[in-house]
Structure 1
Amino acid sequence: MATTGQAPSGRGDARLTEQGIYTAALQLIDADGVGALSMRKLAAVLGVNPMSLYHHVPNKAALLRGVKNLVAAQFQPQVDGGAWQEQLYRFARDFRALAHRHPKLIVHSLASPDFIEPEDPFWTGLTGILNSTGVPAAEVAPVGAVLTSLFSGFLLAEVNGTLGRLAAMRPAPGRAGSTAAPRADADANDSFELAVQTLIAGLEAHLPPATAR
């Protein structure tokens, strides 16, 4: 039987799995950003007919959800052992590392209102830590929402370059009318340490004195 040289378009293409599709899509996003992702480009990377993809993912929105879930599953926070301050620091450090591995996806995801879902390891891990701090049960979700908003804002500013640009700006004149030049050795790691310390200090101030430490 003659062949056309085209990849099969049916549901049974053995080269296609959800894991393989999402992994290839993530590689394209890491290289060129979410805006450059298309079903046609993804099919070319996988070596299949573009129509084959639609048997597994109905559209680009579903594809992006699958990629987001793939990356979310890579985040496995350690939420037991040590003081809650140490747990929160490790949690923030590990999520920041994940964001740095996939910055283009993070920039896109942070702009989405459903970036964090109730079943995501991020949310279950963070609220697990908050449960150990002494935060009243009724306040765990609101406090978690505030911490998530503040931390995600920091991450977005870091990965899109805003943090570095602001850190290099000359501040307004001080009381004596002089301005100090920005620190030449300031880096994002210092800013991250300051951000996490500020979050922890704010949470400690919110807790009843008997449970703050």
Structure 2
Amino acid sequence: MATHTPRAREPLTLARIDATALALVDEGGIAALSMRRLGTALGVDPMAIYHHVPNKQALFHRLVRAVFADMPVPDPTGPWADRVRGWALAYRDVVAAHPALVLTIVVDQEAVAIATSAATEELHRALAAAGLPPEDVELCADVVVDHVNGAVLACAPGPGGDPPDAALARHLADAYAAGLEVVLAGIATRIPGDRPAGRPRELTRGPRRRGRP
């Protein structure tokens, strides 16, 4: 008489937990992420998840770190403006792929710090390569980040959870690219030796804002 050996259950790993949790957030927003739902999606007792992550907040922060650490890095040998463009467009791609996750970051200060440390290193390098003094690197990085986060809010799903329609999405993409060029032109005026004649350099940097990644 033939016997059937039960198929071994797929091991529960951090990689499986992260991938499944991110899929839940992408589909239903951060509210859809709970240990109970995650356990159901993984086919395990929710308590088993706690052997790998201490709580939902820690899991959320893992997702933030993973998503931003995977951002493509622009060619470090290219012109500084191309590097900033590449960084900003890569950030926007992250927003398009994971809007619910990114929107949640703006109200979580620890997540902001995680996203900033994971995502903005190349941005700072590109701005430093432009010849900006260190204090202007920080200031201009904040300006670029503010611009890309404006795209986060503009691309956010509406009250019913629906993304912008195709026409609006194209308009937002065009506005994002045009606005980025304005930002880059402004940064160029702060580069020593590149400012138009008769235009003084002014540094009006207020308290550093870290309310967003």
Q: TM-score range by the shorter chain?
A: 0.7 to 0.9
Which residue of 1 is the match for residue 200 of structure 2? Answer: none
Task: Determine the C-alpha separation between the residues in 2 that align with 1:38 and 1:151.
Answer: 29
Q: CA deviation at 1:72?
A: 1.4
Alignment correspondent of 2:202 = none
Aligned to 1:62: 58
Tell whether the 8 Å contact from 1:57 to 1:63 is kept in structure 2 after alignment: yes
Q: Cα–Cα, structure 1 residues 184 and 133, in superposed 2: closer, same or farther, change >3 Å? A: closer
Q: Once the two structures are superposed, what CA deviation does each residue of 1:78-112 show, in whole Å capped at 9, x if it has no partner? A: 14132111111111111111210111111111332
What is the match of residue 28 of structure 1? 24
For structure 1, which runs of at least 5 residues remain unmatched after alignment?
1-12, 163-182
1:134/1:211 contact within 8 Å kept: no
- Matched with 1:142 is 139
1:16 paired with 2:23, answer: no
**Is residue 131 of structure 1 aligned with residue 128 of structure 2?**
yes
2:182 paired with 1:204:
no
Report the Cα distance in structure 2 between the residues aligned to 1:155 and 1:134, rounded to whole angstroms: 29
Q: Structure 2 matches for 1:21-170, cutoff 5 A?
A: 21-114=17-110, 115-117=112-114, 120-160=117-157
| Greater CA drift, 192-201 or 78-87 | 78-87
2: distance between equivalents of 1:210 and 1:124?
24
Q: Which runs of 5+ in 2 are unaligned?
A: 1-8, 160-166, 197-213
Query: How far apart in 2 are the matches of 1:29 and 1:184?
Result: 24
Amino acid of the residue matched to residue 20 of structure 2? A
Shift, 1:148, TM fit: 1.4
Q: CA deviation at 1:160?
A: 4.2
Q: What is the aligned residue count?
A: 182
Structure 2 distance, partners of 1:209, 1:113, is 37
Q: TM-score, normalised by structure 1?
A: 0.75
Q: Which has the larger radius of gyration?
A: 1
Higher mean alpha-carbon deviation, 109-118 vs 134-143, is at 109-118
Q: Deviations over 1:10-60 (max 9, x none)?
A: xxx962111111110000001100012100000001010111011111111
**Distance across 1 between alignment mates of 2:19 and 2:80:** 34
Taking structure 2 as the reference length, the TM-score comes to 0.75
Higher RCO (CA < 8 A, seq sep 6+)? 2
Pairwise CA RMSD of aligned residues?
Answer: 2.9
Q: Distance in 2 between matches of 1:16 and 1:32?
A: 23
Identity %: 28
1:170 alignment partner in structure 2: none
Give the conservation status (yes or no) of the 8 Å contact 1:79–1:129: no
SS in 2 for 1:206: coil
Change in 2 beyond 3 A, CA 1:93/1:59? same
Could you list the runs of 4 or more consecutive aligned residues of structure 1 that deviate by over 6 angstroms after TM superposition? 183-186
For residue 163 of structure 2, what is the aligned residue in structure 1? none
Query: C-alpha deviations, 1:122-159, integer Å up to 9, x for none?
Result: 21111011110111023322332232123212322223
Residue 73 of structure 1 aligns to which amino acid in structure 2?
A
